[in-house]
Amino acid sequence: MDKTIYEVPCIRPRKAGSAIPSPTVPPDPVMVSVPGSKSITNRALLLAALANGVSVLHGVLFSDDSRHFLACLQSLGFEVCINETDQTVSVTGLGGQIPLEEASVYVGSAGTAARFLSACLGTAKGTYHMDASPQMRRRPMAPLLDSLRGLGCEITFADREGFFPFTLTGHGFCSSELTVDIGSSSQFLSALLISAGLAQQDITIHITGTHGMSYIKMTEAMMQQFGVTVRHPSDACFVLSGEQTYRARTYEIEPDVSAACYFYAMGALLGVPLVVRGVSFSSLQGDIAFLRLLEAMGCSLLEEEHGILLLPPADGVLHGIDADMSACSDQAITLAAVAVFADSPTTIRNIGHIRYQESDRMAAITTELKKMGIQCAETQTDLTIYPGSPCACTVETYDDHRMAMGFSLIGLCACGIRISDPMCCRKTFENYFEVLEETISRLNI
């Protein structure tokens, strides 16, 4: 594959609102396998490092983000054994202690590593020099770092206040109460919750903003799986009792629902039944809500032994919807791609925070759709896509893995769509385009 440009194979050209007739004899569902969850992998790596003893993680995602997280743990002195072939990692935790009291830590573009490790090291006892990729240097950190200062951490910035690179000097938990604004990232709260699980005294965390609460639920559920419980006196208040401990364990990581969503969307667009192996409605991952949006557009969903089965609309028509995507905003790009071929406009609401992710995703979506001749309207928090017939173009991906994967879906149904810098997918799904082509080769259409 050309590493600079990828031309998407146009499998089933279709016009907006057009019907894909169902075959007389329904084809067997296409079975797809995706890597382990990035969100769960990186949380499990940190929880294992903070536990007491050896944890063995199975189904680990190996991508740029997770490899950076693993390298960070090693740079801090943790004993980590990696087997990529078996998708297994073992981590020897020291009961909340950081092996090295001074270290340089490079998080790359991994937001989870950037936020989770900053909170953990900012509440430890030691001095840590933190740096990141140019992309991560542009992403917000100030709300988390302000909270760490309130806990007694000293922070010195090498360049811009509130951004990488910086040096943390932690002194433990010097306060038992703090407030954090999660309006631009739920990772700030997840980071503080995981770190607060190590405190000797009770810790109370107050929040402003409500972004990404499905990821907070994931964090709390995984903390409990490793032995630490969070209480909720109110929706905006989180309390952790002191002297809890994380316990080492064997842990199975779920398939990445975010990755699965591209293939479910593919099934909806191409009119083929499709199953992603191991995906369940009981998933810890908030992006499972995206499947309900495909259901609202006319698809049907059945949970079966091997995973959730998506059946495309019986009449072959995808319907425009009005969707609150605050719980699954990583799939806003995916829904925008599907919406291009619906029979009426689709409005995506409450996604203003995606302006501050790997790219300004609101601007990226509108810019690239308009380049194709697709009309869309953008407000501070909402986006409306008007169906149309995409013209051939090269999609800029802005070093954003989700732009590359999401906009590739348009090319399956519109000729001449090319993806610039397809290998930016290495961040979370390094062989996405290989899996896409292998899945296409098994379609009976």
Residues 59 and 129 in one domain: yes
At 184 the pLDDT is 87
pLDDT digits (tens, 9 = 90+) for 51-110: 999 999 999 999 999 999 999 999 999 999 999 999 999 999 999 999 999 999 999 999
- CB half-sphere exposure, 12, CA atoms < 13 A: 19
Residue 249 has pLDDT above 70, yes or no: yes
Q: Which structure tokens are listed for 208?
A: 């402003």
The DSSP 8-state label assigned to residue 47 in this structure reads: H
Residue 211 has pLDDT above 80, yes or no: no
Residues 414 and 278 in one domain: yes
Residues 161 and 121 in one domain: yes
> Which of 225, 252, 279 represents a domain boundary (last residue)?
252
Q: What is the phi/psi pair of residue 435, to 5°? A: -65, -40
The DSSP 8-state label assigned to residue 279 in this structure reads: -
At 24 the pLDDT is 54
- Domains held by the chain: number: 2
- Contact yes or no for 125/97 (Cβ under 8 A): no
Catalytic residue status for 330 = yes
> Which of 226, 252, 278 represents a domain boundary (last residue)?
252
Residue 181 has pLDDT above 60, yes or no: yes
Residues 193 and 88 in one domain: yes
Residues 261 and 388 in one domain: yes
Residues 419 and 434 in one domain: yes
Q: Where is average pLDDT lowest: 51-60, 205-214, 227-236, 372-381?
A: 205-214
Residues 302 and 226 in one domain: no
Check which CATH number belongs to the domain holding 42 and give it.
Answer: 3.65.10.10
> Which of 203, 231, 252 represents a domain boundary (last residue)?
252
- Extract the runs of DSSP E, i.e. beta strands, from 327-412: 346-349, 376-378, 383-385, 393-395
Q: Which structure tokens are listed for 242?
A: 């002191």
Residues 401 and 414 in one domain: yes
Model confidence at 180, pLDDT cuts 50, 70, 90, reads very high
- Contact yes or no for 119/186 (Cβ under 8 A): no
Helices (H) and strands (E) in the chain, counts: 13, 23
Residues 320 and 223 in one domain: no
Residue 260: its H or E element: helix 257-270
Residues 98 and 152 in one domain: yes
Residue partners of 13: CB distance under 8 A and separation at least 6: 413, 414, 415
pTM value > 0.85: yes
| For the chain, percent of residues with pLDDT exceeding 70 | 98
Residue 220: its H or E element: helix 213-225
CA distances from 299 to 31, 311, 317, 410 (A): 17, 6, 9, 18
Q: Which of these, 370, 397, 364, 371, lies nearest to 385 by C-alpha position?
A: 370
Where in the sequence is the domain holding 83, given as residue range(s)?
Answer: 38-252
Helix ranges, 4-102 (H)? 38-50, 64-75
- Contact yes or no for 406/336 (Cβ under 8 A): yes
Residues 279 and 423 in one domain: yes
| β-pairing verdict for 79-83 and 102-106 | unpaired
Residue for token pair 């949006």: 293
Model confidence at 26, pLDDT cuts 50, 70, 90, reads low
Q: Which structure tokens are listed for 122?
A: 């900012």
Residues 65, 330, 382, 421: which is the catalytic one?
330
Residues 262 and 168 in one domain: no
Which residues are bridge partners to 30 per DSSP?
Answer: 274
Q: Is 15 left (phi over 0), alpha (psi -120 to 50) or beta?
A: beta
Q: Which of these, 395, 393, 394, 369, lies nearest to 383 by C-alpha position?
A: 369
